[in-house]
Chains A and B, each alone.
Chain A
């Protein structure tokens, strides 16, 4: 199934998602919905529960309670949905250092059940799109942090997921690479892919997101549209929540 699959159900629906980590509630009763083509910015200070939430959505971590629906299907009941519907770029793009860029893409494709020809085509397309040609036969262990992020993004996009989950993707990218990343996110959204972008950078949210959700101490404190590029309003909301735990400003913009 690709991003272009038509479905009336939201791509992602979280219902009272809860998860404890290290003896405390990392995520608590989180409700969230995401439609096709939407780009959601997930903000929060360190330890707010962003990465835990994204790990659960990506299928790498099981929630203690609550449900995750992907295209209307219970993800916890059908964990194999992850391989078709979700592309995940975790923070600091974990890679196998002994494999080349091409071998990474091949491994991800095979794990997702690609046949040889489809894998070759998808690999060629994503290498071209993310301009990875000069790195294609380089070992992942010798890539710079920015190049690692690009390879991680390529692996996440290889199977044209319906939901793209990006955890701090702009970390370690230079301004040119950040601009390229924004263009990829917009392109994905335009083709119908729903995107969740976790970031510390408010500018990233105003630049590419339609919606912003702010987490604080594991619970959702704000969920609103990003209107225009009113960076100041978003900043006020974010700092209100970060300092006082709630937003005095009703909307991000």
Chain B
């Protein structure tokens, strides 16, 4: 393995270890998964109750539209809160502990620190998504799952969680205190999500303001439509956020 890969994986393992021994990560996982499981049973109840009515309709929505995708949409909302809480200490906490210079002194560059920490957080979030997906997938053999639509929605979720994680890490790199990082990440996420709200209310469905909004790139994927433009938007957000975090850490090393 190259020194880049070795350093990055060492930082990722260190961050992963720190994540899983902190009660916060477990509490977040337990509370959110319990909430999602409860919502899953409610969605299932509604799905079963409407089965007779839907049987009479041609092309009526199925299990994927009525249970799986709405469940993933709930995960999106939880992600707004969970990701900033998970990422707030990633760099701001290291700074407060005084351990950031130890990583620099071990010859780890700012980009490797940021990437390693990002991969660890992403690992936790993907596991969280996988456990949520396990609920509808457990019934896959009893229902007619629309695999294409579910795959598109999952891809959208992966991209969204990856974007939120990169934003959270950037906020953690800039903030002096983890709580400030969490608040900043939450505000920026909500602003990015709803930046086009006014335009939508005025009936404008195109233009730059709509392109800027995260919701206008995620919603099509939740409905099974994957476009390169939407993927590029998320990738751009991830790259910009991680670059900003890296530049901030490099400047910190320069400035001391």
Question: A62-B254, A96-B99 in contact; A107/B14 too (CB < 8 A)?
Answer: yes
Q: Specify the chain A residue showing the minimal Cβ separation from B250.
A: A62
Question: A59-B105, A111-B106 in contact; A94/B18 too (CB < 8 A)?
Answer: no
B109 at the interface (CB under 8 A from A): yes
Give B44 Cβ to nearest chain A Cβ, in Å.
38
A71 at the interface (CB under 8 A from B): no
Inter-chain contacts of B99 with A (CB < 8 A): 94-96
A3 at the interface (CB under 8 A from B): no
Give B135 Cβ to nearest chain A Cβ, in Å.
30
Residue from A55, A96, A111 in contact with B18 in the complex, judged by beta carbons closer than 8 Å? A96
Which residues of chain B from 100 to 131 have a CB within 8 Å of any chain A CB? Answer: 101-109
B253 at the interface (CB under 8 A from A): yes
Residue count of chain B within 8 Å CB distance of chain A: 27
- Decide if A107 touches B10 in the complex (CB within 8 Å): yes
CA gap between A92 and B98 in the complex, in Å: 9
A192 at the interface (CB under 8 A from B): no
Q: Specify the chain B residue showing the minimal Cβ separation from A81.
A: B107
A interface footprint on B134-170 (CB within 8 Å = 1, 0 otherwise): 0000000000000000000000000000000000000
Q: Specify the chain B residue showing the minimal Cβ separation from A22.
A: B256
Which residues of chain A from 38 to 73 have a CB within 8 Å of any chain B CB? Answer: 52, 55, 58-62
- Decide if A95 touches B107 in the complex (CB within 8 Å): no
CA gap between A95 and B103 in the complex, in Å: 11
- Decide if A96 touches B11 in the complex (CB within 8 Å): no
B21 at the interface (CB under 8 A from A): yes
A90 at the interface (CB under 8 A from B): yes
- Decide if B22 touches A98 in the complex (CB within 8 Å): yes
Which residues of chain B from 220 to 256 have a CB within 8 Å of any chain A CB? Answer: 253-254, 256
Inter-chain contacts of B103 with A (CB < 8 A): 111
Q: Specify the chain B residue showing the minimal Cβ separation from A87.
A: B105
Residue count of chain A within 8 Å CB distance of chain B: 33
Inter-chain contacts of A107 with B (CB < 8 A): 10, 13-14, 17
Give A1 Cβ to nearest chain B Cβ, in Å.
13
- Decide if A79 touches B109 in the complex (CB within 8 Å): yes
Which residues of chain A from 1 to 25 have a CB within 8 Å of any chain B CB? Answer: 19, 21
Residue from B11, B14, B18, B106 in contact with A82 in the complex, judged by beta carbons closer than 8 Å? B106
- Decide if B256 touches A94 in the complex (CB within 8 Å): no
CA gap between A94 and B102 in the complex, in Å: 8
Question: A90-B98, A96-B97 in contact; A83/B107 too (CB < 8 A)?
Answer: yes
CA gap between A80 and B108 in the complex, in Å: 7
Inter-chain contacts of A79 with B (CB < 8 A): 107, 109
- Decide if B101 touches A61 in the complex (CB within 8 Å): yes
- Decide if A113 touches B256 in the complex (CB within 8 Å): no
Inter-chain contacts of A52 with B (CB < 8 A): 256
Give B104 Cβ to nearest chain A Cβ, in Å.
5
- Decide if B97 touches A111 in the complex (CB within 8 Å): no
Give A195 Cβ to nearest chain B Cβ, in Å.
16
A97 at the interface (CB under 8 A from B): yes
Show 26 residue pairs from A and B whose CB-CB distance is below 8 angstroms, ordered by the A residue.
A55-B256, A60-B105, A61-B101, A61-B253, A62-B253, A62-B254, A80-B3, A82-B106, A83-B106, A86-B105, A88-B102, A94-B98, A96-B14, A96-B18, A96-B99, A99-B18, A107-B17, A110-B9, A110-B10, A111-B7, A111-B10, A111-B11, A111-B108, A113-B6, A113-B7, A113-B10
